[in-house]
Amino acid sequence: MGHALSVAPPYRKKWAAKEWTALAVLVLGALALQRWLLKPFQSHPTSPQPGVDWFLILRLPELQYNRLGREMGEERLEQWLTALQGARYTPMFLSEALARTGSGAPLPEKTVVLLYQPALRQTIEGVYPLLARHRFPATLVTQSEGIDADDTRFLSRHRLDAFAEEGCFDMGFFGASSMTFTLRPSRRGTAPQKELQLAWDPMAERNVLNAVAGSRTLNRLNVNLAWTGPQLLQRLAAEAPVRSMTHLTATRLLRRLWGTTAPADAPFDLQADEDYRAATVSWNGLKGRKNLRVDITAASIMDELWIYLRYDRAAERGLRVGFTPGYILVELADGGKKDRLLSLPWTAPQGRGFSAAITLAGTRLRIAAPGEPERTVELPDDATPKHALFAAAVFSKIRAVARAQGLNITATPIPE
């Protein structure tokens, strides 16, 4: 009688506590990695700095079709994102920034919104990995007409819907004929999930600061592909609103002089170029400041120095104070007309040290200069624009002569 064949039971290893712990760590790590990858575009945490009521929109350049141009654009975007992170800017969805300003909720002081328009196919596909790696949210404003016409330069609605499902971007759909676009908030942001109708004003590209709560016209800056990371930061420094006593200076960026601020005295030179009779620098951070005290010193001045207050450059309307070789002048400009309110004889310190103080509050202007008694000028009501800029200029009837060396300006806003 044969023996029954016996089969040994399969070997089952008993896991020790250490092995179970290691498995748990691996699973939790994988879940954490998946969560991070699925939320690369969520707005960064709010900065502990005091909140503000303004933010910045940067319209970034599209990537080119050719390989060399595309690689150059991607390399530049990498520099910009690194620079913004290093300077502690807080990236945010456009919908979220609008929702906060509209409700009166504060924003971090350096809130920035990245925007692409018209958001072509090669641009979206090229910038997506870089934005994901740096965890920067962005807003795409693309053309509805191109998508509906199956224009291959644009992503299809199916691909855009896939991005929207992941919450990678705010989605904007632009109507070229209506000059408006519809904004659909990202699912990763904190803004209410409802569409917004926003105006697309071509003239808004002259400014970058958005500071009016509830405004549906967006100021934005067209970022120049030639700018390096540090140059982009210099350009943005020209937009920060001046809230208290601030030292003003100027920075040359791609052959243009921009008014910026500094933590201490930072003298600069204002010089008319070879083919020009004048040179001007303005400070966007003082735009809309109606009441202001300005203290000015200079190592030397040749010919005329003009200070513009509440001035609308496009309309050539506003108040200006001139320090000329023979007179201190106060004029109200309106288009091509000038109404002279003060003509005070004095001896200008040509080629040597200069100082003056100007205070504008309401309809009263006060001027103090060395060797002269303080003068007060009463301005007509509504004689100056409500929202205008502050600027300084040198002028001469002879080209390349006008200059102010070692110019130092301190601005102190006066509560209204």
Report the CATH number that the domain containing residue 171 is assigned in CATH: 3.20.20
Q: Is the domain of 346 the same as that of 369?
A: yes
At 223 the pLDDT is 94
How many CB atoms are located within 10 Å of the residue 331 CB? 18
Q: Is the domain of 298 the same as that of 279?
A: yes
List, for residues 364-401, the tens digit of each pLDDT value. Answer: 999 999 888 899 999 987 767 766 789 999 999 999 99
Let me know: does 273 contact 400? Beta carbons within 8 Å: yes
From CA 413, how far away is CA 322, in angstroms rounded?
A: 21
Q: Is the domain of 260 the same as that of 397?
A: yes
Q: Is the domain of 137 the same as that of 169?
A: yes
Distances in whole angstroms, Cα of residue 241 to Cα of each of 57, 205, 297, 362 = 15, 18, 23, 20
The answer to whether residue 223 sits within a structural domain is yes
Q: Is the domain of 108 the same as that of 186?
A: yes
The answer to whether residue 195 sits within a structural domain is yes
Containing structural domain, residue 124: 43-231
At 34 the pLDDT is 44
At 406 the pLDDT is 95
Q: Is the domain of 139 the same as that of 262?
A: no
Q: b/e for 165-192, b at 16 or more Cβ within 10 A? A: eebbbbbbbbeeeeeebebbbbebbebe
At 24 the pLDDT is 57
From CA 77, how far away is CA 71, in angstroms rounded?
A: 10
Helix (H) / strand (E) element for 196: namely strand 196-199
The answer to whether residue 357 sits within a structural domain is yes
| CATH number, residue 256 | 2.60.120.560
The answer to whether residue 10 sits within a structural domain is no
CA atoms within a 13 Å half-sphere pointing along the CA-CB vector of 400? 3
Q: Is the domain of 365 the same as that of 345?
A: yes
Work out how many domains the chain is built from and give that number. Answer: 2
Rg (CA), the chain: 29
List the chain residues with pLDDT less than 50. 1-13, 30-38, 40, 45-48, 213-214
Mean pLDDT, the chain, as a whole number? 84
